[in-house]
Amino acid sequence: MADPEQALWFAFQGDKLLVYREGPVRVPLAGGPADLGLDVTFRWKVGDLDGRACLAVEVGPNAGPPEGLVFRDMRSFFFGVDEDFFRMAGRARQIVGWHATHRFCGRCGGETEPVSGELAKRCTRCGMMHYPRLSPAAIVLVERGDQILLARSPGFPKGMYSALAGFVEPGESIEETLIREVREEVGVEVENLNYFGSQPWPFPNSLMIGFTVDYAGGELTPEPGEIEDAGWYTAENLPQLPPETSIARAMIDDFVRRHGPKPEDP
């Protein structure tokens, strides 16, 4: 039986998470750096999972993984992992990334230090407070009757299509962002904006804010360099979809429930 004082270590070397080499994706339990033989440069508690404390951990760039473990990019395993695990790993990734980019103050260059009891770092020279960066982004599923608009970005896994998305620009509302993004990326207009839900997304530090909208006009014209392909799909004829851990998949699955084949009445 594991020591109750041990925590789940979400240990990152750059953007790669330390996980077991074999079996389901999972992170090690440890009571301290000596348990894993790692060069730890930063630790921060980020929550609890399955009754265990969870630590976001940064390890040195030259540290080798302990026996039986390996550093893996999170994008390589977000298909099929447990949603709670993915969410915790994503939170840890963002906290470690925040630490890595805020060791020094962006205003005066002074060294920063953690603030007790708060998710913040304070400049030791000018006192400026630095909080984790969060980038809001709109993700939108366009509906046209019994069809939805799905598109493929060059950075997607091979064959995968998804909803359209884009970051909020300074001075924009979420609603303005999604109208602009759809117009820029595929050349169509939308109307009847309806909020669906939101999801933190750790690539790298986004808050995805989802809407469903209705098609209002225009011909599909994918933006060169941004969209490789775009098309209209029915619930019975869908391409490869995003992982079930994503809000994009939740929006598509909701559409399928509403427009897919219905069980025959007895």
Contact 31, 3 (CB under 8 A): yes
Best CA proximity match to 195, nearest among 181, 176, 175, 211: 211
CA-CA distance, 262 to 252, in Å (whole number)? 16
Provide φ and ψ at 25, rounded to 5°.
-70, 120
What would the 3-class secondary structure string for 21-72 be?
Answer: CCCCCCCCEECCHHHHCCCEEEEEEEEEECCEEEEEEEECCCCCCCCCEEEE
137 strand-pairing partners: 167, 208
pLDDT in tens, 58-97: 999 888 899 999 999 998 887 778 889 999 999 999 999 9
pLDDT reading at 265 higher than 50? no
pLDDT in tens, 178-232: 999 999 999 999 999 999 999 999 988 999 999 999 999 999 999 999 999 999 9
Domain ranges for the chain: 7-101, 135-259
| Fold for the domain defined by 135-259 | Nucleoside Triphosphate Pyrophosphohydrolase (3.90.79)
**Amino acid at position 251, single letter:** M
- H-helix or E-strand spanning residue 152: strand 147-152
The most confident of the ranges 21-25, 137-141, 154-158 is 137-141
- The per-residue pLDDT for 182 is 98
- The per-residue pLDDT for 266 is 44
Residues 6+ apart with CB under 8 A from 236: 260, 261
The lowest-confidence range among 59-68, 103-112, 162-171, 208-217 is 59-68
Question: pLDDT class for 234, splitting at 50, 70, 90?
Answer: very high
Q: What is the mean pLDDT of residues 256-264?
A: 82
Task: Please tell me the pTM assigned to this model.
Answer: 0.87
Sign of CA dihedral 108, 123, 96, 251: negative
pLDDT in tens, 6-36: 999 999 999 999 999 999 999 999 999 999 9
Contact 119, 132 (CB under 8 A): yes
- The per-residue pLDDT for 263 is 64
State percent of the chain over pLDDT 70: 97
Residues 6+ apart with CB under 8 A from 29: 2, 3, 6, 7, 8, 9, 52
CA-CA distance, 169 to 176, in Å (whole number)? 9
